[in-house]
Amino acid sequence: MKSRAFVSLTCLTLAVVLAGCEATTPPPEAKDQFETVRKAFDDYLSSDPAAATTAATVFDSLNDGDDTTTPYVISARSPEHYALGHVPGAVNIPWRTVANVGALDDLPTDQPIIVYCYTGHTGAVATAVINAMGHEAVNMKYGMCAWTRDADIRAASPFNEETSSDFPTVTDVPDEMTYDLPTMDVTDSTDDGEIVRAAAEAYLSGDESPIIAAEDLFDLLNDGDETNDPFIISVRAPEAYALGHIEGAINIPWKTIAQEANLKRIPTDRDIVVYCYTGHTGGLATTVLNVLGYNAKNMKFGMVAWTKDADIRATSAFDDAVDSNDFATEP
C-alpha cells in the first residue's frame, strides 16, 4: 500500500513539474512585420537590380538558340488581354495576383525571369513583389507596347509626345520633416517569406489604381485646396533632380527607397505621388511604399509626361518609330 501511495505521489509531483514547465515556456517572439518587409525590399534594391530590360533583349534571349539564357516570361496582364496575344511561351499571372498563395510556386530558380504588362507600369509592380518574395525578375520596358505595334494586342496606348504636358519645374529644395514609420499586422505567421507575401497580398487585393496622370497631379496641386496636395517624391538620381523637379518634391533615389532613414522622411497620413523618368523605376518604388503601408501612386510615364524640356527629362521618351517592334505573338 505504501509503495502504491509513493508511486502515486511521485506521478503527481512529476505532473505538476511538467505542467509548470509548460506554463512557463515562452511563446514565439513576435516579429516586427514592417521591418521584415522593409528588409526584403531593401535587400532587393541594394543588390543593384536593373531598372528594366528591352523587348529587343528579351526577343534575342528567346531566339539565340542558347537554352541556358532562355528567360521564363510572365505576362502580368489580364487573362482577356493575354488571350489576345502574348510573348511566345509566356505564362499569365495577372499583376494583382502575384502574391496570392501558390501563384509563384512554379517559378524557376535557374532561369532569368522577365515580367511584362501594357506600358511598363503594372509590370513594375509585379516585378517588385516577385523580387521581394525571393526571386530575381526584371520588368520589360514599355511592356507590350514595345513588343508589338498591333493596337488590339497592345490593349493600351503608349506615351504620346503630342499629348504630353509642359508644366513648370523648380530647382529649390524644400524643407523636410521626420515622421514615424508605419506599423504592420498582416498575418499570425512568424515566417519571413509568409509575412512578405501577406503584406504584398494585402496591398494587391485592393482596387485602387497604382498610377496617376501628370495632368491630374497638376490639377491637385493647383486647385487652391492645399489639404488635398499629395506629398511628392522624385526617385530620380540627385543629378536629375537638381536639373528640375516638381515643386515641393523631395529626392529619394529609387534604389534607396526602402532604407529606414529615407522612409522616415515620408508621412504616413498623406497621399503620396512618386515619379521617375518614364514610369518604370517609379513603379518599383511606389510598390515598395504601398506594400509597407503608405498610400502612394506612380506618375504615369514619369517626368517625360510632365515637361517637354529635354534637359530636365534627362532621358528620351517612348517613340513608337524607335522603341516598338513587330515581334510575333501567340494566342
* Phi/psi at 220 (5° precision): -60, -40
Does position 176 have pLDDT exceeding 80, yes or no?
A: yes
Q: What's the pLDDT score for residue 6?
A: 39
Question: In whole angstroms, what separates CA 318 from the centre of its chain?
Answer: 21
CB 276, CB 305: distance < 8 Å: no
Residue 109 lies in a domain: yes
Q: What is the mean pLDDT of residues 241-266?
A: 99
Same domain, 88 and 181: no
Residue 16 lies in a domain: no
Q: What's the pLDDT score for residue 28?
A: 58
Q: What is the pLDDT of residues 152-170, one digit of tens each?
A: 999 999 999 998 999 999 9
Q: What is the pLDDT of residues 83-102, one digit of tens each?
A: 999 999 999 999 999 999 99
Q: What is the pLDDT of residues 273-294, one digit of tens each?
A: 999 999 999 999 999 999 999 9
Residue 327 lies in a domain: no
Q: What is the pLDDT of residues 182-214, one digit of tens each?
A: 999 999 999 999 999 999 999 999 999 999 999
Residue 324 lies in a domain: no
Same domain, 144 and 183: no
Residue 318 lies in a domain: no
Q: What is the mean pLDDT of residues 204-231?
A: 97
Same domain, 132 and 184: no
Which of these three, 162, 195, 213, is where a domain ends?
A: 162
Which residue, 54, 34, 37, is CA-closest to 128?
A: 37
Q: What is the pLDDT of residues 102-118, one digit of tens each?
A: 999 999 988 999 999 99
Residue 319 lies in a domain: no
Same domain, 100 and 223: no
In which domain, by residue range, is 253 found? 166-313
**Count of domains observed in the chain:** 2
CA separation, residue 146 to residues 49, 97, 299 (Å)? 21, 24, 20
Same domain, 134 and 201: no
Does position 19 have pLDDT exceeding 70, yes or no?
A: no
Reported as type and span, the H/E element at residue 212 is strand 211-212
Residue 321 lies in a domain: no
Number of DSSP helices (H) and strands (E) in the chain, helices first: 14, 9
Same domain, 272 and 196: yes
Does position 7 have pLDDT exceeding 50, yes or no?
A: no
Q: What is the mean pLDDT of residues 219-238?
A: 97
- SS3 of 146, please? helix
Q: What is the mean pLDDT of residues 307-330?
A: 97
Same domain, 110 and 207: no
Same domain, 157 and 172: no
What percent of the chain stands above pLDDT 90? 89
- SS3 of 109, please? coil
State pTM to two decimals.
0.90
Same domain, 115 and 182: no
Quickly list DSSP for 217-235.
Answer: HHHHHTSS-GGGPPEEEE-
